[in-house]
Amino acid sequence: MDLGISGLNALLLGSSQGLGLSCAQSLVEAGARVVVNGRDADKVAGVAARIGAVGSVAGDVSDPDGRRAIIERAREVLGGPIAILVTNSGGPPPGPLETHDHAVWLKALEGNMLAAIDFAGLALPDMRAAGFGRIVNVTSFTVREPYPNMGLATGVRAGLTGAMASLAREVAAEGITVNNLLPGLMDTPALKRVYDAQAERESIAPEAAKARMAESVPMRRLGTGEDFGPVCAFLCSRLAGYMTGQNITVDGGIVRGLL
């Protein structure tokens, strides 16, 4: 299926591994000119070469002072303006709400809420000038289905969801869509941190904690990058041009809400 985005420039944040990488791979397959991002310069350059991306930009999205540099360097590598932006960053630590101090909350807000808002604002001039843009934020199913010991991640991502809901309506008439993609229990390094923490608290094997998580999903398995990336590419496509302000779950049925 032609997604109508061949040749368009895309910046994929936090895309050196996990779900961000699966989004980058799917956009490359759709013909987009992709720049991948991660903190480790050697790693992200290797990822770019492996998947056929245009190039890479190293940088930490949680660093407020470095965000503009990431955007400007991405434009240089792409040789033009950014049409597609996918925001993603490593999740904050799991654990009971009362175990997170003020500094941990501020770090989570910076990395998982304010970073995406800043990057969207920095990319908007390019999209407005072109009369076309796609912003997709990778958040979490916990925005819809709160999960034990994930209050920190849920709290900051719920804030991002609200901000992006407003932005979607502000730019809708300019050919720009803003949507959120909510992964469920996906077999990624981020989830490993969660079930490792559960295993330690409950004195069980990590494999047992992982298997229990898989059993909690109606499909009886954890999600994969192959489940996730193509949905991201669709939301970035011209085919999704009448979808904005939406929260799309890719979760194997774990969210039980009617809407």
Task: Considering the domain delimited by 9-184+225-249, tell me its CATH architecture.
Answer: 3-Layer(aba) Sandwich (3.40)
List the one residue out of 78, 94, 24, 36 whose CA is nearest residue 61.
36
Give the C-alpha separation, 259 to 251, whole Å. 14
pLDDT tens per residue across span 107-143 = 999 999 999 999 999 999 999 999 999 999 999 999 9
For the chain, the domains span: 9-184+225-249, 186-222
**Residue indicated by tokens 């502000």:** 170
- What are the pLDDT digits (tens) for 220-254? 999 999 999 999 999 999 999 999 999 999 999 99
Instruction: Say whether pLDDT at 52 is over 90.
Output: yes
Residue 100, phi then psi, degrees to nearest 5: -100, 120
Q: Which contacts (CB < 8 Å, 24+ apart) does range 98-102 have?
A: 100/151, 100/152
Provide the CA 184 distance to its chain's centre, in angstroms. 12
